[in-house]
Amino acid sequence: MAEVEVRILGRAFTLACGEGQEDSVRALAHKLEDKVRQVTGDRPVAVDARVMLMAALLLADQANESEQGLYRARIEVDKMRRSADRSAAEVDATLARALDDFAGRIEAIATRLEKL
């Protein structure tokens, strides 16, 4: 288990994380600090539980919006797939009819040629 030190508004926090996850934890802490600054408006404040909670709620709201957007995108992709499947089936049916028609013409030509 590794440890990483992060700073939120100048206050140091030492956190445990998995080996190799230090950069990821630092990046997440940077995002959290951005949200804390959004909550505090860059006013000098002590980093307390209330400020961290508000920042966490902003991040949770952002994550929720992303999840909802992803869900809507998946629905659209599913609709597109179904539409593409229907279109492919229609193309297959059209090609099958054209091939049947073409085969009928070839048979008619062959019949005429046999009569010559």
Mean pLDDT of the chain: 89
The pLDDT, as a whole number, for residue 9 is: 83
Burial profile 70-108: b = 16 or more Cβ within 10 angstroms, e = fewer = eeeeeeeeeeeeeeeeeeeeeeeeeeeeeeeeeeeeeee
- pTM of the predicted model as reported, rounded to 2 decimal places: 0.58
Residue 22's domain comprises 2-115
Q: Residue 36: name the closest of 53, 55, 61 by CA.
A: 55
> Residue 72: pLDDT band by 50, 70, 90 thresholds?
very high
The pLDDT, as a whole number, for residue 112 is: 85
Angle at alpha carbon of residue 77, lines to 76 and 83, rounded to 5°:
90
Domains in the chain: how many in total? 1
Q: What is the pLDDT of residues 14-57, one digit of tens each?
A: 999 899 999 999 999 999 988 888 888 867 777 778 888 888 89
Is the confidence at residue 10, as pLDDT, over 90? Answer: no
User: Is 58:39 a contact under the CB 8 Å cutoff?
Assistant: yes
